[in-house]
Amino acid sequence: MLKGKDIVAINDLSQDEIERILNKAREMVPIARAEKKSRLLEGRILASFFFEPSTRTRLSFETAMQRLGGSVITVTGQEGTSIIKGETLADTVRMAECFSDIIVLRHPREGAARLAAGFSNIPVINGGDGAGQHPTQTLLDLFTIKEEFNDISKLHVTIAGDLKYGRTTHSLSVALSRMGASLSFVAPPTIQMPDHILDEISGMGADHELSSDLMGCIPKTDVLYMTRIQKERFPDFEEYIKVAGAFRLDLDMLENAKKGMIVMHPLPRVDEVHPDIDPTEHARYFQQAFNGVPVRMALLSLILEGDI
Ligand code: CP
């Protein structure tokens, strides 16, 4: 039952609920493309609270709400809010509750979305909490993979880059493990996947390996999920410098890739996927970004209106 639910971590959703969201997202595609009109969420208001920079998550949530006839109130950054005067997150969330029907929150602190959900009587969706999770990114990642491949349990997915601070990789790894995919985690040792995620996926019996050899993993890979080194999350800039540019995927590196292998990236990218890859049959990252709209339309409609 998704109506009224908070979505803070991917494990807040059962497998059945994930399937329902992805199926509903498929129905939403023509509305997301403005080929069909909908007033499903007319009169509903989304409070879009982004206390960290965002292009895709904020704009796709706001587009999703508006494509369904709803409205949006937005905060970007703490500047211009009463947080600057000392107002707490709890009181900020209580105010959103006075003015809207659902909150999407991005916050630099891991755990902030769970805290907000505890204070709120309206649903809270985590739009990314520090180095924690990004569950709606995972839903659109799963949608993108499922549109390409029928059976996720037969796939080998290589997740490369900053696996320590890259929150999208945390929720995606958990979801893919639940669905039976095998995984390669490719990163320099200092920014490998955190132990708590490895423990969780080991507990599910997921077939996985840790590696620092991206080239060696490519030939067996069906989905190559590249990520940015999260410069802003390193407490020590010297440590960032040691791993900056660790993996740069270029056309030559795809020579031994499977014909149907897709390259995904949650974006923004810096230098880890060369633009020469953009026009190839492998690139899916721009389609992936678009998929954020139908997936978030599905999520908003199921949480606010239920399965109608
Ligand atoms: N993928 C993603 O979360 O992008 P933004 O930071 O631009 O929202």
User: What structural domains does the chain harbor?
Assistant: 10-133+292-305 (3.40.50.1370), 135-288 (3.40.50.1370)
Q: Give Cα separations from 168 to 128, 129, 279, 301 (angstroms).
A: 8, 10, 24, 23
Residue 49 β-bridge partners = 75, 105
Is 57 designated active site? yes
- 281 three-state secondary structure: coil
CA 148 – CA 202 distance, rounded (Å): 26
Is 220 designated active site? no
- What pLDDT score was predicted for residue 150? 82
Cβ–ligand 1 distance for 136 under 6 Å, the answer no
Q: What is the pLDDT of residues 257-295, one digit of tens each?
A: 999 999 999 999 999 999 999 999 999 999 999 999 999
Q: What is the pLDDT of residues 100-111, one digit of tens each?
A: 999 999 999 999
Under the banding of pLDDT at 50, 70 and 90, the label for residue 306 is very high
Q: Check whether 308 has a pLDDT greater than 80.
A: no
Q: Check whether 1 has a pLDDT greater than 90.
A: no
CA of 106 to the centre of ligand 1 (A): 10
Cβ–ligand 1 distance for 137 under 6 Å, the answer yes
- What pLDDT score was predicted for residue 245? 86
CA 51 – CA 109 distance, rounded (Å): 10
Q: Check whether 122 has a pLDDT greater than 90.
A: yes
Cβ–ligand 1 distance for 267 under 6 Å, the answer yes
Cβ–ligand 1 distance for 55 under 6 Å, the answer yes
Cβ–ligand 1 distance for 269 under 6 Å, the answer no
Q: Give Cα separations from 39 to 3, 30, 69, 71, 295 (angstroms).
A: 18, 14, 4, 11, 17
Is 134 designated active site? yes
Is 56 designated active site? yes
Q: What is the pLDDT of residues 68-85, one digit of tens each?
A: 999 999 999 998 899 999
Helix ranges restricted to H, the chain? 15-32, 56-67, 89-99, 112-119, 135-148, 167-178, 195-203, 214-217, 237-243, 285-305
Please state the atom number of ligand 1 nearest to the C-alpha of residue 267.
Answer: 1
CA 183 – CA 155 distance, rounded (Å): 8
Rounded percentage of the chain residues whose pLDDT exceeds 70: 100
Please state the atom number of ligand 1 nearest to the C-alpha of residue 53.
Answer: 6
Q: Check whether 246 has a pLDDT greater than 90.
A: no
CA of 229 to the centre of ligand 1 (A): 14
CA of 56 to the centre of ligand 1 (A): 5
Q: What is the mean pLDDT of the chain?
A: 96
Q: Check whether 26 has a pLDDT greater than 90.
A: yes
90 closest CA partner among 72, 74, 103:
103
CA of 51 to the centre of ligand 1 (A): 13
130 closest CA partner among 233, 256, 28:
233
- What pLDDT score was predicted for residue 80? 86
CA 34: distance to chain centroid? 23
- What pLDDT score was predicted for residue 152? 96
Q: What is the pLDDT of residues 123-180, one digit of tens each?
A: 999 999 998 999 999 999 999 999 999 899 999 999 999 999 999 999 999 999 999 9
